[in-house]
């Protein structure tokens, strides 16, 4: 990795507060791009649209899905934006390159019964178990990303109003809410479990690992895997599944899509729009109950 790449990745972390996994993905995407440039004797500061088209064909030859190609382009747009800001270039050539069309996938979410079973399956008879229950309660109650959850500090929580200040993608700040169930487990966790997990050390973060340090994304994902495995739930469930579940349940119970967009921290309403596909059952029920020309009425 050259010095410019290294500075760019550091900027993503320190200035823009990108998630750890996003930075890892961008590092891999940049490495792939620079290998292509080296193989074709190209200078990254002097590439043109034909060079980019050749690179896209190269990505396609690797049998990458469109979503992975789109992420590569997103990485390179960000990298070349950085080069423009730092005066290496006058303009960003990748701004004129369109993403490939993405397949619209319905979000993976849990039904009400499945969600309740998942919550009820988590024992709370130890500090570790109580922390794990709190993790699932907060992911479901707030709809936050797993990286956002790991970065919650005690000072971010307004206990009286049941709100948490979150820093999302691109250091964007938003407020999320949590209800009585999450508040109950939060109180229990802070009363004894957190201090026990800290083992005498100090931390400003809410969620503490078994080593006495703040939890990271990989550890939360592993905790979720174990909970799902122990429940023998025949579903692929990740922390992000609970974010999808949060949004779907809100819409199914009458929340407007603009409010859900703000709670999720989506920059575009189009991103939130994927959840409208899974609310048709509720809409059908409302229609059948309320349309005057329906025989049931």
Q: Tell me the catalytic residues.
A: 145, 169, 240, 243, 266, 275
DSSP state letters, 243-284: HHHHHHHHHHTT--HHHHHHHHT-SSHHHHGGGGGG-HHHHH
Please give the Cα distance from 260 to 109 (Å, whole number): 15
Query: Up-side HSE of residue 203: CA atoms within 13 Å toward CB?
Result: 23
Rounded to whole angstroms, how far apart are CA atoms 88 and 194?
A: 48
Place of tokens 């429940």: 231
d(CA 181, CA 115): 13
Cα–Cα distance, 284 to 14 (Å, whole number): 48
Taking the C-alpha atoms of residue 107 and residue 244, their distance in angstroms, rounded to an integer, is 6
- Provide the 3-class DSSP secondary structure of residue 238: coil
């Amino acid at each position: 990795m050259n010095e410019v790449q290294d500075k760019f990745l550091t900027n993503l972390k320190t200035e823009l507060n990108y998630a750890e996994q996003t930075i890892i993905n961008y590092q891999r995407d940049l490495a792939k791009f620079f290998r292509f440039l080296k193989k074709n004797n190209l200078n990254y500061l002097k590439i043109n649209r034909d060079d980019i088209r050749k690179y896209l064909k190269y990505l396609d030859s690797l049998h990458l899905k469109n979503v992975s190609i789109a992420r590569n382009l997103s990485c390179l747009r960000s990298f070349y934006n950085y080069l423009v800001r730092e005066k290496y270039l006058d303009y960003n050539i990748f701004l004129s390159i369109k993403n490939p069309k993405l397949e619209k996938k319905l979000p993976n979410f849990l039904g009400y019964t499945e969600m309740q079973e998942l919550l009820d399956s988590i024992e709370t008879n130890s500090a570790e178990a109580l922390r794990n229950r709190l993790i699932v309660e907060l992911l479901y109650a707030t709809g936050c990303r797993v990286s956002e959850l790991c970065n919650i500090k005690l000072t971010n929580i307004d206990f009286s109003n049941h709100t948490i200040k979150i820093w999302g993608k691109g250091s964007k700040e938003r407020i999320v809410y949590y209800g009585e169930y999450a508040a109950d487990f939060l109180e229990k966790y802070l009363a004894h479990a957190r201090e026990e997990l800290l083992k005498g050390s100090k931390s400003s973060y809410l969620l503490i690992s078994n080593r006495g340090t703040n939890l990271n994304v990989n550890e939360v994902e592993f905790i979720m895997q174990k909970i799902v495995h122990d429940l023998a739930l025949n579903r692929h469930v990740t922390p992000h599944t609970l974010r999808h579940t949060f949004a779907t349940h809100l819409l199914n119970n009458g929340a407007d899509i603009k409010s859900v967009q703000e709670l999720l921290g989506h920059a575009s309403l189009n991103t939130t729009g994927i959840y409208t596909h899974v609310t048709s059952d509720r809409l059908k029920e409302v229609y059948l109950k309320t349309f005057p020309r329906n025989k049931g009425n």
